[in-house]
Amino acid sequence: MEKMVNVYLYGKKYSVPASLTIMEAMEYAGYQLVRGCGCRNGFFGACATIYRIAGDRELKTCLACSTKVEDNMYVATLPFFPLVKEVYDINKVKPTEQIMMQLYPEIYACVGCNACTQACTQGLNVMQYIAYAQRAEYEKCAEESFDCVMCGVCSSRCPAGISHPQVAMLARRLNGKYIAPHCDHLDERIKEINEGKYELLLEDLMGKPIEEMQELYNHRDIEK
């Protein structure tokens, strides 16, 4: 018989299999998930969750789709966090320090508390990539923030009101547009896609079972 654990979802106690993720446990308990479900296999960012284990004072953050339940876990999911998203034309802005001052001046009010890093569901050094953005080191900021899933948990804990994921997104766009070397082979691939070269291949892939697609992905050729 499968091991069962007790979890508290929105204050109500449920006994669920220990092998389930938080998201699966919610469905097992009878909740119908209609939003905040993300990809359901990890790292989409829509299912930001906070929890605490009974007897432990630390409030932890995670993604519900990729975190297993624990005994005596008290769970509360977060609604969509309203990040500040400034409007800009990537073809008109430039990778200067002034553009961050203009669009996201709050990054210069960072108090160095590191709450953003401690809250990150991906384990990113969020405060470090904000420091790179402050110094207009956009290539470093883009690299440090590359695995951000924009769940917004870091911003929810920030006393300075910084929208870290949006700052990182701007840095990655600036890096891709102006700093990173141009890729001729990418232009060629886009042209081939627009010409319909891969339509039959994509249709074939879409018809394969998920297990076979995972196997193909895990053994794909990766460009050096």
**Predicted pLDDT at 168:** 97
pLDDT tens readout for residues 129-184? 999 999 999 999 999 999 999 989 999 889 999 999 999 999 999 999 999 998 88
Across residues 32-53, what is the average pLDDT?
Answer: 80
**Predicted pLDDT at 7:** 96
pLDDT tens readout for residues 81-134? 778 899 999 999 999 999 999 999 999 999 999 999 999 999 999 999 999 999
Residue 9 has pLDDT above 80, yes or no: yes
pTM of the model: 0.76
Burial of 145 (0-12, 13-18, 19+ CB in 10 A): buried
As its CATH architecture, domain 4-77 has Roll (3.10)
Residue 24 has pLDDT above 80, yes or no: yes
Residue 201 has pLDDT above 70, yes or no: yes
Q: What residue spans define the domains of the chain?
A: 4-77, 97-179, 184-218
165/218: higher pLDDT: 165
**Predicted pLDDT at 224:** 62
pLDDT tens readout for residues 52-69? 999 998 889 899 988 999
User: 76 pairs with which residues across the strands?
Assistant: 50
33-36 CB contacts, 8 Å cutoff, 24+ apart:
36/64, 36/77, 36/79, 36/80
